[in-house]
Amino acid sequence: MERCLVNSISLAYTRTGEGHPLLLIHGYPLDHTIWQPVVPLLRGAFELILPDLRGFGESDAPHEDYTLDDMAADLAGLLDHLEIERAALAGHSMGGYIALAFARHYPQRVSGLALVASHPYADPPDRREARYTTARAVAEQGVEIVASSMPEKLTANPDLQSRLRALALRQPPAGVIGALKAMAARPDSMDLLRNFSAPLVVVQGAQDSIMPVQFGRDVQKICPAAHVVELSQAGHMPMMEAPQETAQALLHLL
Ligand code: MLT
């Protein structure tokens, strides 16, 4: 992977393809490799930039509180480093929350937005509390506590479950804790989407046990021009479970 220094963090990223820039932002507690199945399907149409977010993969994982705004600022710094002024952003789950934070802070830099198994709502209080409880458990017991329970919620495919378990186990506790606290503190972004005028794509898995398809239908109501797809064969990992259909939907960002 290539590296750049942004906001005192050494950020790792890969870059491939030719065309309009598209940032593929991974979710929690994973890294950029989740996007690999769609890369060959998209690199003819886009210049793809796949970062490991702070706290994950090969990027630095500082022992401090993170915010989604910090993570969005890292991506803005990465685009600066690459001398890219405007890009489309596709975010998976937590990556979608970060894409929304990016659109809030740098609207002029966003040429399109895709929420992949993601949504614009803030956490309800019980979900927020559960994240702080999980963060404390990870601090005491390590990432195994997350890696053992999460893969079954991500996909029904046993092969993918074991790959995702191994991927989650590789993530540093500081990054997992930082991301949990960052997600807990995020604001609602429905108003942002209501006023969003660039291409908007929502990809949802009909079998997603974390993100109900109703979230995408809510977005369709407030943004009638949005391209919203529900993939019958996918759970929470559409880019791995249904790469062709996911790539097809992301082409609507052009
Ligand atoms: C993710 O997949 O990034 C997380 O499950 C999102 C969340 O917990 O809200």
Q: Is 184 in the pocket of ligand 1 (CB under 6 A)?
A: no
Q: Is 59 in the pocket of ligand 1 (CB under 6 A)?
A: no
pTM, 2 dp? 0.98
Q: Is 114 in the pocket of ligand 1 (CB under 6 A)?
A: no
Q: Is 94 in the pocket of ligand 1 (CB under 6 A)?
A: yes
- Token representation of residue 144: 């195994």
**C-alpha 94 – ligand 1 centre gap (Å):** 5
Bridge partners of 203, per DSSP, are 116, 229
**C-alpha 232 – ligand 1 centre gap (Å):** 20
The secondary structure of 39-99 as a DSSP string is HHHHTTTEEEEEEPPTTSTTS---SS---HHHHHHHHHHHHHHTT-S-EEEEEETHHHHHH
Contacts for 116 with CB less than 8 Å, ≥ 6 apart? 90, 91, 92, 93, 95, 96, 203, 238, 239, 246
Per-residue pLDDT tens listing for the chain (254 residues):
999 999 999 999 999 999 999 999 999 999 999 999 999 999 999 999 999 999 999 999 999 999 999 999 999 999 999 999 999 999 999 999 999 999 999 999 999 999 999 999 999 999 999 999 999 999 999 999 999 999 999 999 999 999 999 999 999 999 999 999 999 999 999 999 999 999 999 999 999 999 999 999 999 999 999 999 999 999 999 999 999 999 999 999 99
Give the integer Cα–Cα distance in Å for 235 and 231: 8
Atom nearest to 179 CA in ligand 1 = 3
Atom nearest to 154 CA in ligand 1 = 2
Q: Is 122 in the pocket of ligand 1 (CB under 6 A)?
A: no
